Structure 1
Amino acid sequence: MKLALVHDFLVNFGGAEKVTLTLAEMFPDAPIYTLLYHHKLDRLFANKKIIVSPLQFWFKTFRIPVRFLLPWMAGAVENFNFSGYDLVISSNNSFAGGIITEPETIHISYCHSPTRYLWDAYHTYVDEQRLPGWAKTIIKKLLHNLRIWDKLSAGRPSIYLANSTHVKKRIHKYYRRDAQVVYPPVDTHKIIPKKSNAGYFLVLSRLSGYKRIDRAILACNALKLPLVIIGEGEARKNLERLAGPTIEFLGWQSDQSKLEYLRNARALLFPGEEDFGIVPVEAQAAGKPVIAYGVGGARESVMDGVTGLFFDEPTTESLTIAIRRFITMEKKFDWREISQHAQKFSREKFKQDIMTIVNQQLKIKN
């Protein structure tokens, strides 16, 4: 069987890239097609055959930011040639699902999310651009054209997989396609749960505005509780201005260091809306409760009152109330039960689910 993998662009390493890496482990001989590739990921993909688009020249030679190459990405992904392949698996939240395959080729699209800046976050994305009005007009036209392409190309995959029920609903809303839920792989086997803690609350996240880390900072300021924040991002300076004396920013940390901070945390704060969210699962694998905004993927990975607590309103006040509630019932949480719950999102479970679907599709084809 001739098989290929496709990923939007391998320039950073997050949850979507972990999915592609796991797929590459499952299918070690499969080449990985991607629009752009950054050499800093060599330590993870060094033994893989990476096939890039012509946009790589501009990205690598002139260090042009990814967003400035946006107008040419749809055309670039369509120019990848998958002639002769029996099966192609795309891992995508923007362009990889729009590849063109032969009629007899099975295309499984693992969708992390319909492209947010084209659909539900379109107005927010445009408003956040610090650009003059005429420039925003151009951006709106570009995104309008990409939205048409995205909807049309959504009919190309043979089958859709979604990383959560939350994303499954959005796939149906925007693409009018059904999807099967396969939760993304989490390395729960690498995390040793721990009963005790060092007394601090933890945020482990990219420091971006939509992550709403400001809610966690303001809540811990008000309650005078210690909060450790791990991660980097464009919002760091603004967040540091909000922080009181009990807030500590640690910036980038190694994977091993992040796991140790998770194991020693009192609880994880997860104040934004996510399509799934791997960090809450990692925290639970470590035996730690999660205090999360009760929408999106958190509703699927956290059991309210058992492995964590939800706050229902997207406000600092609602999170503050939830933290106070957690403190009053903290001793009721069982670290063993929390850790056991996380195992349903393990890497092995992901591999089993993917292989079952691959075999089903091949059986249908034959």
Structure 2
Amino acid sequence: MTDTIAIAHKDYDCRGGGEVFCRRLAEYLDCPMFVGRRNLTNEPDNSAIDITEIPLSRPEQWMIDRGGLTRTAAYMLRWPAAADQLSQFDTIITSGNEPLWWVPDDDQTVIAYTHSTPRYMYDLFNEKTDFQSLTGRLATVFYNAQRVLYETNVNRPDVWVANSELVARRIERYWNIDESQIEVVHPPVDTHEFSPEAAETDDYYLYLGRLAGAKCVDQVVAAFDELDAELVIAGTGSERERLEAMAGESVRFTGFVSEERKRELYAGARALIFPAQNEDFGMVPIEAMAAGTPVLGVRDGFTRFQVQPGECGLLWERGELAETVRAFERDGVTWSETEIATYAATNWSIGRFESEMQAVIDEATETTAVEVDLETPARGFECPIPQSAATDGGTE
């Protein structure tokens, strides 16, 4: 092998936080990326990253298309087959959990960047599993078995990198990884791409992100039914049809928006509403603050650490969003748009991400190098001949 590095990521088929992480890291390291699946329509037009899709068999494709537990099983079969491609690199940075099923060579350095432990198996297990139904009970059996399998796989990385202190705690608790093996590097947020000057502040509130169950967008829609305020929902997902059915006239759905339009929406909003359940990190609140926009975030997950209450936004308890919006309209926040944007840029940036990841890579490759300490004889050293060997030649 030559001194090379590559990234292994579950799928590159959407524009989520994991994909942003991989793209930024691959651009910085100028290294290739191996992915389970890719969707060219979701990749930036100016991307020059070398992306290789792991070959997929027909049974595995069928299992992935079915979703749920069968999809998880497909990834368990798929990533070990990537060994031929990944073994040619000295260092592999895995992104997400699925590449952990791959078995590295003994002389490879493995850095596992973790966006979260599998949520439906761990931190959301009790809340999301229907223990009374047959499907829920079968899922419980499968999750229990999968936990055992994960615990045998998570010992393979040399270094763990969590995307937040909250995820570091999950890795330690659920996978029994010693905290000394876990580093925290927040994901890259291009805070300089956003500005309060991108648009004049308008009279709407904004939700931006995927329309999925764990994002709890239905709670936002329900709250704005009680308010005399406009809500703009930007994003797509499986929940859109249900959300549109329950939304009132003051709620407007935009669907997918371009990066330019996203910057305008952030800057023009009175505030961003962020309701996600036990969020691992959350790039959206940081992007909004980089645009000088306050964040009304749920007091949950990592969101409660991002928002400084009363200064750059407000925190709300579940069921109290409408009341929080009224309080925000009455009292506002103390920081100016510029101060909010400075707060975001100071704590989160691409430059900070790159330097911290480089430090992790340097330390990991140095500490995992195999060294053998052997003594060498001094010059003029003569090997003593054992007495038995000296007399053997004279025996009959």
- In the superposition, the TM-score normalised over structure 2's length comes to 0.83
Read off the aligned partner of 1:36 and give its amino acid letter.
R
Matched, 1:122 2:125: yes
Tell me which structure has the larger Cα radius of gyration.
Answer: 2
For the 8 Å contact 2:216–2:276, the answer to whether it is kept is yes
For the 8 Å contact 1:36–1:53, the answer to whether it is kept is yes
Q: Describe the SS at the equivalent of 2:121.
A: coil
- How do 1:167-246 and structure 2 match up within 5 A? 167-177=167-177, 178=179, 179-194=182-197, 196-246=200-250
| Distance in 2 between residues matched to 1:133 and 1:45, nearest whole Å | 48
The one of 331, 339, 346 equivalent to 1:337 is 339
| Distance in 1 between residues matched to 2:118 and 2:230, nearest whole Å | 36
Matched, 1:328 2:330: yes
The one of 262, 266, 281 equivalent to 1:258 is 262
Q: Which residue of 1 aligns with 2:282?
A: 277
* TM-superposed deviation, 1:33: 2.0
Matched, 1:91 2:95: yes
1:43–1:60 distance in 2 versus 1, CA, 3 Å:
farther
For the 8 Å contact 1:35–1:56, the answer to whether it is kept is no
Q: How many residues were matched structurally?
A: 358
Q: Which residue of 1 aligns with 2:13?
A: 11
Q: Which residue of 1 aligns with 2:144?
A: 144
Read off the aligned partner of 1:48 and give its amino acid letter.
I
The one of 10, 29, 51 equivalent to 1:27 is 29
| Distance in 2 between residues matched to 1:349 and 1:97, nearest whole Å | 26
For the 8 Å contact 2:63–2:71, the answer to whether it is kept is no
| Distance in 2 between residues matched to 1:219 and 1:40, nearest whole Å | 34
| Distance in 1 between residues matched to 2:37 and 2:126, nearest whole Å | 27
Q: How well do the aligned residues superpose, as a CA RMSD in angstroms?
A: 2.5
* TM-superposed deviation, 1:278: 0.5
1:79–1:59 distance in 2 versus 1, CA, 3 Å:
closer
For the 8 Å contact 1:198–1:265, the answer to whether it is kept is yes
* TM-superposed deviation, 1:61: 9.2
Read off the aligned partner of 1:52 and give its amino acid letter.
E
Q: Which residue of 1 aligns with 2:382?
A: none
Q: Describe the SS at the equivalent of 1:359.
A: helix
Instruction: Out of 207-216 and 256-265, give the one that drifted further.
Output: 207-216
For the 8 Å contact 1:21–1:45, the answer to whether it is kept is no
1:43–1:333 distance in 2 versus 1, CA, 3 Å:
closer
**Structure 2: tracts of 5 or more residues without a match:** 370-396
| Distance in 1 between residues matched to 2:365 and 2:249, nearest whole Å | 58
For the 8 Å contact 1:232–1:252, the answer to whether it is kept is yes
Q: Describe the SS at the equivalent of 2:293.
A: coil
* TM-superposed deviation, 1:350: 0.7
Q: Which residue of 2 aligns with 1:37?
A: 38
Read off the aligned partner of 2:99 and give its amino acid letter.
A
Q: Which residue of 2 aligns with 1:100?
A: 103
* TM-superposed deviation, 1:107: 0.9
For the 8 Å contact 2:12–2:19, the answer to whether it is kept is yes
| Distance in 1 between residues matched to 2:136 and 2:175, nearest whole Å | 26
Read off the aligned partner of 1:250 and give its amino acid letter.
T
| Distance in 1 between residues matched to 2:112 and 2:45, nearest whole Å | 22
| Distance in 1 between residues matched to 2:159 and 2:9, nearest whole Å | 16
Read off the aligned partner of 1:34 and give its amino acid letter.
V
* TM-superposed deviation, 1:347: 1.3
* TM-superposed deviation, 1:141: 3.5
Please list the CA deviations of residues 201-239 of structure 1 after superposition, one character each: whole Å capped at 9, or x if unmatched. Answer: 100021112211122222222121111111111111221
For the 8 Å contact 1:59–1:65, the answer to whether it is kept is no
* TM-superposed deviation, 1:260: 0.5
| Distance in 1 between residues matched to 2:98 and 2:64, nearest whole Å | 20
1:19–1:56 distance in 2 versus 1, CA, 3 Å:
farther
For the 8 Å contact 1:19–1:185, the answer to whether it is kept is yes
| Distance in 1 between residues matched to 2:134 and 2:289, nearest whole Å | 47
Q: Describe the SS at the equivalent of 1:37.
A: coil
- How do 1:276-295 and structure 2 match up within 5 A? 276-295=281-300
* TM-superposed deviation, 1:5: 0.7
**Structure 1: tracts of 5 or more residues without a match:** none
* TM-superposed deviation, 1:254: 1.0
1:357–1:44 distance in 2 versus 1, CA, 3 Å:
farther
| Distance in 1 between residues matched to 2:91 and 2:124, nearest whole Å | 32
| Distance in 1 between residues matched to 2:272 and 2:103, nearest whole Å | 42
| Distance in 2 between residues matched to 1:79 and 1:331, nearest whole Å | 53
Q: Describe the SS at the equivalent of 1:110.
A: strand
Percent identity over paired residues? 28
Instruction: Out of 60-69 and 235-244, give the one that drifted further.
Output: 60-69
For the 8 Å contact 1:200–1:265, the answer to whether it is kept is yes
- In the superposition, the TM-score normalised over structure 1's length comes to 0.90
| Distance in 2 between residues matched to 1:42 and 1:289, nearest whole Å | 29
